[in-house]
Structure formats: C-alpha cells, structure tokens
Amino acid sequence: MAELNDREKAKILRYLGYADWSSVASSFQLGYPSPSDPEFLVRDAFARITDEGLELVRRDLCELESIEDQLHSCRKRMKASKLGDLQVNADEPFMLRREMTYWTSRLSDDLGAPINPFSSATTGVGGRNAKVC
C-alpha cells in the first residue's frame, strides 16, 4: 500500500488550512479533540487512504501547486492593464482563486477530511462567527 510522504502531508495540511506542527494541539483535553480542532481527522485520513484515493489526492495537489504558480506569475502582471495590443485579464487572480477553492474542496472530498473552518486562507474571513452571550 502506497503512502503519502511527509512533504505531501505538509502540503495537504497547508491547502486545507492547518498548521504542520509536531506536537498535539492544546485543544486536546483528556485525550479527546475539541469540536473546533478537526485537524485530527486530516491526520487520521493519511493512514486510511487507499492506493486509488492516493492517486486522486496527488492529482489534487498537482492542480493546487499549478494554480499557486499561476497566481505567483499573474502578480507580476498586475502593474499594467495593457501592453501594446495585449489586454491583461483583470479577473485572472479572482478566477485562479476560485479554481483554488474548487481544488481545495476536491482535495478535502478525495481525502475525506474537512477544510479548516477557522483558517483565514480557506474561508477568506479569518474564522467563523460565534454567538457571544
């Protein structure tokens, strides 16, 4: 059975909005994770993934890396909207971010693990709203 390597695991954690820490989160109380810390589900999925599922997850990682590379490249073009006859697509960064969201969701689904609901990178807002009484 094939396994994810440490580099792939670190990338998955990052794309799903989790930090790649070596120690257990402080939200673990008496051996049980709190409901606000679903990272253990991601780490558990690393051990349960099948060979077929691993292929899908690796494809998702390739797509996400490609989109990140394209985002990096498009930032260089943000200084101008037109160069000669060439018109730069002003929506390119937004379109790429939508693609990033799609492929992050694919990764989450293919791995069977949740996207961090408290990550500002994945939610765009820095966490969930909580009712304060």
Q: What is the tens place of the pLDDT at every residue in 74-120? A: 888 777 788 788 888 888 999 999 999 999 999 999 999 999 887 87
Q: Say what the pLDDT of residue 80 is.
A: 76
Domain encompassing residue 48: 6-117
Asked if residue 132 belongs to a domain, the reply is: no
CB 81 within 8 A of CB 52: no
- Is there a domain that residue 127 lies in? no
Q: What is the pLDDT of residues 2-20, one digit of tens each?
A: 799 999 999 999 999 988 7
Task: State how many domains the chain has.
Answer: 1
Q: For residues 78 and 96, is the Cβ–Cβ distance under 8 A?
A: no
- Structural domain contains residue 125: no
pLDDT of residue 82: 80
Q: 34-80, pLDDT tens digit by residue?
A: 544 688 889 899 999 999 999 999 999 999 999 999 999 988 877 77
Q: Is residue 1 part of a domain?
A: no
Output the pTM of the full model: 0.78
